[in-house]
Copies of this chain bind each other. A is one copy, B any other.
Amino acid sequence: MSLEANVRLTLGALDLDIELSVDEAEVVALLGPNGAGKTTLLRAVAGLVPLTSGYVKLDGRVLEDAASGKYVPTERRSIGVVFQDYLLFPHLSVLANVAFGMRSRGMPSHEAAEKAAQWLDRVGLSAYVQDKPDALSGGQRQRVALARALAPDPRLLLLDEPLAALDVTTRAEVRRDLKRHLTTFPGLRLVVTHDPLEAAMLADRLVVMENGRLVQTGTPAEVTERPRSQYVADLVGVNLLRGQADHGSVRISDDSVIAAAAAESGDVFAVIHPRAVALHLRRPEGSPRNAWPGRVSGVEMLGGRVRVRVEGDVPLVAEVTPAAISDMQVAEGGEVWVSFKSTDVGVYPA
């Protein structure tokens, strides 16, 4: 029992071509930069935007198939969607919003109201049933949107950046609730986000897309450890290089080769954690086999550590303690040496 989608379509500048499957056992997070096509993919699954080719299948039933022209309209797909900015109906009370799906599917009004009230109770909003959505705070609205999507018992739950509209503090709290609801929801679950932390917290599997294409999929740990694109490496905060591996070395460009304690060969990615990169005022002596000079192009505080970008043969980010920085008097534009051990280089096939 699963969602299987193969979506190909063009919309404005976006050229979407991606295969996606969601199993019952997992929460899948769709991750990608602005404009990657995450929302569009969700809309295609919901039947709100037509496929050029491909199909969407839910539990083996074909919802849409470009080849045969079959199309089950959105309102007859068993889906629940939480939209990025919620799209609560501004003219309806919170209760009527949550009851809307059940009413639309033909449930008698008092029964729908009763079930809606139960849902609102479950998300802790019993006190607000009669309010209009715009009287609620962001976090409360998010909960109403979730209750509204869940109330008609959909088979597939789609969430588009469910926390993006919240501020940092509310977000943590709502995220906990959301996690709980996702865990207990008995159907298929797909969450869009562009925050890697959020993705890692909510999902069992990440699907990373860029420019309408899949670039990587795997558990949060797999993706974090073995990023396969600059975008993912940036998200995770590591240095990612690409080159040709050959007997313990990786050739990054014509001029630069790094030493890596790995047996891989051929096209590879090499990942180096900024914490493993050391800074020196002079050429370092001793064990590090990788060392070269560069110019500091940025210094940033980040949660008690300092990130230093160094431009050189191979641009790298190093993460050091504030004490080290003030000892070394590192400043933008200054000359430094970077070094890292070959054992700190993770290498895996590209």
> Could you tell me which A residues sit within 8 Å of B by CB distance?
33-34, 137-138, 167-170, 172, 175-176, 179-180, 194-197, 200-201, 220, 231, 234-235, 298, 300-303, 309, 332
Contacts and interface: CB of A to CB of B under 8 A. Distances in A.
Given A34-B170, A168-B195, A194-B168, A176 B301 contact: no
Contacts of A309: 176
Contacts of A138: 34
Contacts of A301: 200-201, 220
Contacts of A234: 168-169, 172
Given A168-B195, A201-B300, A201-B301, 6 more contacts: A34-B170, A168-B234, A169-B234, A169-B235, A176-B298, A197-B303
25 contacts: A33-B169, A33-B170, A34-B137, A34-B138, A34-B167, A34-B170, A167-B194, A168-B194, A168-B195, A168-B196, A168-B234, A168-B235, A169-B231, A169-B234, A169-B235, A172-B234, A175-B300, A176-B298, A176-B309, A180-B332, A197-B302, A197-B303, A201-B300, A201-B302, A220-B301
A169 B168 CA distance: 17
Contacts of A231: 169
A33 B139 CA distance: 12
A174 B309 CA distance: 14
A108 B347 CA distance: 59
A169 B229 CA distance: 12
A29 B195 CA distance: 24
A23 B332 CA distance: 24
A211 to B, nearest CB: 13
Contacts of A235: 168-169
